[in-house]
Amino acid sequence: MLGYWDIRGLAQNIRLQLAYHGINFENKMYPTTEDVSSRDVWFNGDKFNLGLDFPNLPYFIDTDGHKMTETFAIHEYLADKYAPDLNGRTPEERAKVLMLKGVLWDIKKAVTGPMYSGEKTAEEIVAMAVEKLQSIVTYMGENSFLMGDYVTYIDFFFYEFVQGLAAISDGSFFNTFPSLTSYVENIRNLPGVGEYLSSTQSEECLPFNMKFAKVNNWEQIK
């Protein structure tokens, strides 16, 4: 079971990886309406009742009872268990995946903050993201995926990030980084992923951020 808010947020990347592994998971979603009390279902309900060591969202509870939180720990656990190459195939590759994880997390945090606070417009946020992502796009070059011609778990995270930026830029993000157009297609063509995205179970129609976010919120997605 994957637990998260009823948004894409930090969970869609994990949902995509689960789909890639062919796992038919329970997608537990906690409500986040504009009414703050809606979040009590998590904060005053499951949060401290599931036996999680470090209660947070997203969490993952495996069929054997193993329970965990932390987005990247979940990515790495699933990779270890179902497709270890997703963590990188050698110590050097694994180091690079970790490096990309650190860099992309910092950029995503920097870009997501203003979406919630409203201190920047969508255009300003995209401009900031473009500046920060230039090094990533250069690093990727003509690769099919971030690390080369093979997928790693950080691709699911980056794909989601790119999708979120495309959604608030009316596509201009892809004009700036045309190579990301084929990148997105490469992810969608991965086994399990395309099927998941086009299935009725797909959560792709969910908003990226919570309803109270000033940019990229429910209204803009509709």
Residues that bind ligand GSH (CB under 6 A): 9-10, 47, 56-58, 70-71
If the CB atoms of residues 118 and 178 are measured against ligand GSH, the closer one turns out to be: 118
Give the nearest residue (CB) to ligand GSH. 71
* Token pair of 115 as six digits: 């979406």
If the CB atoms of residues 58 and 207 are measured against ligand GSH, the closer one turns out to be: 58
Give dist(CA 115, CA 95) in Å, integer: 30
Asked if residues 34 and 212 have their Cβ atoms less than 8 Å apart, the reply is yes
If the CB atoms of residues 3 and 177 are measured against ligand GSH, the closer one turns out to be: 3
Q: Coil, strand, or helix at residue 5?
A: strand
**Smallest gap from residue 79 Cβ to ligand GSH (A):** 16
- Cross-strand bridge partners of residue 5: 30
If the CB atoms of residues 140 and 165 are measured against ligand GSH, the closer one turns out to be: 165
Asked if residues 95 and 88 have their Cβ atoms less than 8 Å apart, the reply is yes
**Smallest gap from residue 113 Cβ to ligand GSH (A):** 12
**Smallest gap from residue 99 Cβ to ligand GSH (A):** 17
Q: What angle do CA 121, 7, 84 make, to 5 degrees?
A: 110
